[in-house]
Structure 1
């Protein structure tokens, strides 16, 4: 949009403050306003058939405004930070507020409060160029040893500022990098992925070697009858558990609507399970979309559910305080923990910042399956399983019953039979139907790995940190076709 530019040198915080002032001038002091201004740059290098086929970069500014006026609430967003563009946004949101239904559950604005500084960010990651990403892709492809490969490498950063008419201001910044790749051998796939704060910590060679080893180990799979089997879930599979627990279990809106399994104060999980959401651990901003300061929040403490997450609206409904989990989708989906980690065995739960595994070389089943186990941590869990399945990844998971969190889905990118603590053969993918809380219930968790690996989510700033996990039982209900 054309128009008078904002003063040169204005920061995101300056822009947010100008919007709050503009709402007051146009609607009067009774109007309540909150504004988040986010500037983001992201770059993505995609490869397929072992060659880069797309290199894209995007730069954006997003101004999100929510106002409460005369008992009604409206929100809108725009990307024009000129004087005219900001005025148009404010006028549009104020006009919408006149036609929206009354909002008796309006929770009010976040009061002024101190906000922690952003975790240290790496300028080299924020401004990484296509040559750096291309070098990582080349390392991945070369390490795959001639197998067909595909995937992506991405880098980027976000700078955000918040202001509201209650006098609360906050600002922060975050940068991250991720790589996710696949290798294929004789129709079998192997994958490896990594999420880091510093692009220098991405290891394309290790990721490519690991993906290729898994692909080779997954060749010529055998059929296995459905049923309940003990399992070792590798970190990518555990990440799916964390994602669904976050969306459907620890979601404050679902909890308020009695659509969540969570019962705070109850030992719903095995004592080995401690779940912590920590936006400031890595790649997170120090405040949420409503300006509430971010902090580490323990959701499950040694098996006992201790909390669910809230934005201001779900918190007000239950008479508690917001935990700082408002995000762009919380008005529709509810507040969710987006930086959830399962604390590994014998630690305070810190995630490995590199997530680097050593592929193969564990002597677990001969050349055909040497690459099935991606790291010594997983190998240790496998060695103590008499008979069961090693699961690399879960995908296409869908919730059948939100209240008990029964999920159905498929194994993916490698499934192997374990006998007497050794991986013996690849198995064709299976469908499963399992209650995630029940799979993690008291007595069901036999062992956790000693290192949590941070894995990228599809959403900016979201990640899951998970160790490998040995469970007493997992319910496989059919083949991949049904």
Structure 2
């Protein structure tokens, strides 16, 4: 079961066909936009240190949004033959006639070429810079994924392991009745696994645009070393602690910043902490949304959004100053801005948010320091110098089950996971049981609160919101731990 790749250009033909069907059925006054996306995912999952599931799924979805006589309606289908497309147009036309007036319709994206760094021009012409797509990853076999699982399990040296290795492929095309016509494709690989011993868990995660970048042996050894180091934890009282957050935990910060903070709809409704051109973060903090990837890290998303707007790099925070939030065409029109290329099916309800955020890494001190166990890899290298500078605090691997208590100030509550350690005078002295925290994320990264940033960002698998983040380790002056294992 390898990932299914359909013929290049097929999605663009489908999109153009639906636009023509709308024109014939509704006349030239109808405004139509069509997104055709083929998604294929293959997953090799393991538990109890053995593979128990290998699955693959592929589906092509056609989404139509139609504006006619001042009203708007949307429809979708996965039936892409002639009858399926004709039925989609007929249903959407019937729905638009029953829809309420849409006074905030922002109009269609005009013909606009894709940015060269995306590897494509408009109208489907390739620019020759398609460095963001790895054919081998798109066509990865179950045996290739299984070999990485095998290496992970062997590297754990007898510890119980569980997790997955996944490869995905997406190709998409967009066309509208205003003449915009673009296409693109992307592939990604990810591995996420835990090792467990005597109730203690260790985790290792990594994502890349190339399956070849994932080394199961390195990830398995890291997870096992962290699990062994987390045995026999002590309990600490609640309170404010200096912390070093490893990249897995930092990804949760970036996720919540993106969905609830840099969301253009939340910003327009004044439900976001974001204030453009305000010094809201420590000067060491720069956040960039990078949907197109780069030569050094070719793991891009599609080069355009669901409205056909080309995507490009967007600086959200530069040296502590909030510079931008993300918009689709509707949220942009409501605040007098322009779309940043962040429309999605979800953006029409939940608002547009960044999905490829990178916290820029920074040079770190070079003093040697021991992590909780002697393991190699980007997480350890990124965190070691930060730990070495900590007088007394906590090294935290991961956060989970985080929930928003107050969206405007982005106060979050959640739990630590997969390893917490007490650090004293730059050395790890004890494993610590998991704790609950209640913390304003913007406040934690506010001016004067960031004591250091790791020297390398780690690309991590997508989270619950469908987002993917590149995160370094982070040294913060204060984190509010509000409970421990006993209450």
Q: 1:419 to 1:412 in 2, by over 3 A?
A: same
The answer for the alignment partner of 2:171 in structure 1 is 159
| Match 2:206 to one of 191, 194, 198 | 194
Q: 2: CA distance between counterparts of 1:9 and 1:274?
A: 37
- Alignment of 1:21 onto 2:20: yes
The answer for the alignment partner of 1:46 in structure 2 is 45
The answer for the alignment partner of 2:270 in structure 1 is 258
CA contact (8 A) 1:372 1:414 kept: no
Q: 1: CA distance between counterparts of 2:340 and 2:47?
A: 41
Alpha-carbon RMSD across the aligned residues, in angstroms, is: 1.7
Q: 1: CA distance between counterparts of 2:465 and 2:170?
A: 9
Q: 2: CA distance between counterparts of 1:450 and 1:81?
A: 48
Q: 1: CA distance between counterparts of 2:27 and 2:244?
A: 60
- Alignment of 1:332 onto 2:344: no
| Match 1:184 to one of 196, 201, 221 | 196
CA contact (8 A) 2:422 2:431 kept: yes
> What is the CA distance between 1:458 and its match in structure 2?
3.6
Q: 2: CA distance between counterparts of 1:122 and 1:151?
A: 24
- Pairs within 5 Å for 1:360-379: 364=370, 369-370=373-374, 374-379=379-384
TM-score by length of 2: 0.92
Q: 2: CA distance between counterparts of 1:133 and 1:478?
A: 40
| Worse-matched range after superposition: 284-293 or 450-459 | 450-459
Q: 2: CA distance between counterparts of 1:441 and 1:73?
A: 42
Q: 1:307 to 1:101 in 2, by over 3 A?
A: same
Query: SS at 2:19's partner residue?
Result: helix
Aligned length: 459
| Worse-matched range after superposition: 451-460 or 315-324 | 451-460
> What is the CA distance between 1:459 and its match in structure 2?
6.4
CA contact (8 A) 1:219 1:426 kept: yes
> What is the CA distance between 1:76 and its match in structure 2?
1.0
| Match 1:232 to one of 244, 247, 259 | 244
Query: SS at 1:149's partner residue?
Result: strand
Query: SS at 1:441's partner residue?
Result: coil
> What is the CA distance between 1:412 and its match in structure 2?
0.2
CA contact (8 A) 2:369 2:385 kept: no
- Alignment of 1:442 onto 2:444: no
CA contact (8 A) 1:35 1:163 kept: yes
Query: SS at 2:185's partner residue?
Result: strand
- Alignment of 1:111 onto 2:110: yes
CA contact (8 A) 2:342 2:352 kept: yes
> What is the CA distance between 1:467 and its match in structure 2?
0.5
Query: SS at 2:403's partner residue?
Result: strand
> What is the CA distance between 1:42 and its match in structure 2?
1.0
> What is the CA distance between 1:309 and its match in structure 2?
0.4
- Pairs within 5 Å for 1:63-142: 63-116=62-115, 117-118=118-119, 119-120=130-131, 121-142=133-154
> What is the CA distance between 1:481 and its match in structure 2?
6.0
The answer for the alignment partner of 2:306 in structure 1 is 289
- Alignment of 1:474 onto 2:479: yes
Q: 2: CA distance between counterparts of 1:251 and 1:195?
A: 24
- Pairs within 5 Å for 1:291-330: 291-330=308-347
Q: 1:167 to 1:481 in 2, by over 3 A?
A: farther
CA contact (8 A) 1:213 1:372 kept: no
> What is the CA distance between 1:376 and its match in structure 2?
2.4
- Structure 2 residue runs without a partner (length 5+): 1-6, 120-129, 294-298
The answer for the alignment partner of 1:30 in structure 2 is 29
CA contact (8 A) 2:71 2:101 kept: yes
CA contact (8 A) 2:280 2:446 kept: yes
Q: 2: CA distance between counterparts of 1:234 and 1:199?
A: 23
| Match 2:253 to one of 233, 241, 251 | 241
Deviations 1:321-352 (A, max 9, x none): 000001121111100000000001149xxxxx
> What is the CA distance between 1:370 and its match in structure 2?
4.5
The answer for the alignment partner of 2:358 in structure 1 is 341
Q: 2: CA distance between counterparts of 1:41 and 1:159?
A: 9
Query: SS at 1:207's partner residue?
Result: helix
Deviations 1:173-214 (A, max 9, x none): 000100000000110000000000111111000000000000
Query: SS at 1:19's partner residue?
Result: helix
Deviations 1:19-63 (A, max 9, x none): 001001001111100000011211000000000000000111010
Query: SS at 1:375's partner residue?
Result: helix
Query: SS at 1:94's partner residue?
Result: helix
> What is the CA distance between 1:389 and its match in structure 2?
0.2
CA contact (8 A) 2:222 2:376 kept: no
> What is the CA distance between 1:81 and its match in structure 2?
1.2
| Worse-matched range after superposition: 332-341 or 460-469 | 460-469
Q: 2: CA distance between counterparts of 1:419 and 1:184?
A: 26
The answer for the alignment partner of 2:127 in structure 1 is none
Q: 1: CA distance between counterparts of 2:28 and 2:382?
A: 59
Q: 1:241 to 1:138 in 2, by over 3 A?
A: same
Q: 1: CA distance between counterparts of 2:369 and 2:317?
A: 36
Q: 2: CA distance between counterparts of 1:372 and 1:153?
A: 20
The answer for the alignment partner of 1:351 in structure 2 is none
CA contact (8 A) 1:284 1:461 kept: no
The answer for the alignment partner of 2:180 in structure 1 is 168
Q: 1: CA distance between counterparts of 2:39 and 2:53?
A: 20
